[in-house]
Amino acid sequence: MTDFVLVHGAWGGSWCWARVRDRLAAAGHRVFTPTLTGLGERSHLLSPGVGLETHILDVVNLIQWEGLHDFVLVGHSYGGVIVRHVADRMAERVRELVYLDAFVPEHGQSLNDLAPGYAEMFRAQAIEFGDGWRMPPIPAAVFAVNEADAAWVDAQSTPHPLVTFETPAQLTGACDRIASIGYILAAGFANSPFPKFHEAAAARGWWREAIDCGHDVMLDAPDDLCAILLADRVSCVGAPAGSRSLH
């Protein structure tokens, strides 16, 4: 039995992970899918005071109060920024760190630094639609979410605090010393900012995978994603990084 902590991205919530959570639980594992403050079913808590540190502590405190050790930590999209900080602070507890089509900042970098083509748009939309501090959801179609789910995703998504995209990462480097680290790319997401992180993963010695689907892998390809998450990589730790695609 393995414990999984799955962290969603911007505008999302625990709901994003329902299909993956159900499959992993059915296989006998424990799964935690925290909703970050101010999003999803916690959208009533959104305020100008919610920042990157709030979201990091959402996950750190879950791990602390649930007494989790030797678990798999997964971050999707913006959630990559969160899990990188969590792993940096709690590296001794993390068995495996997985970036799922996610941002991977270095110390001093903000998410907007990693997506310069989007930064101006985020700020402009926050000014026009969110009193200057919150960003309205981006339509699911932009992320190549499958057609059957697109309208539902749009209805579920909630505004996200802009400051979380503008705050520089504060990292010691402990997050990169975890024994097993991997990157999963959504290969069916056109104009994606994420292939550069997938490519960099090889140079870091991380394992790599690619799934031919849109950005919301947990919705488009939950079976493929679960197969990757449940793969036994313990014997492969320290081996040369590999890469394969699932179609």
Would you call 235 a catalytic residue per the annotation? no
Best CA proximity match to 17, nearest among 186, 151, 216: 216
DSSP run (H or E) holding 30: strand 30-32
Query: What SS3 class is residue 74?
Result: strand
If we measure between CA atoms, which residue out of 204, 191, 189 comes closest to residue 100?
189
User: What is the three-class DSSP state of 182?
Assistant: strand
Cα–Cα dist 27/21, whole Å: 10
Provide the CA 186 distance to its chain's centre, in angstroms: 12
Q: What are phi and psi of 36, to 5 degrees?
A: -70, 145
Q: How many whole angstroms separate alpha carbon 25 and alpha carbon 123? A: 39
- Closest among 5, 10, 6 to 158, alpha carbons compared: 10
Which of the residues 14, 43, 47, 77 is marked catalytic? Answer: 77
Length, in residues, of the chain: 247
Which whole-number Å values give the CA distances from 85 to 36, 52, 65, 75, in the listed order? 14, 10, 18, 11
Alpha-carbon distance of 165 to 110, in angstroms, equals: 6
Catalytically active residues, by annotation: 77
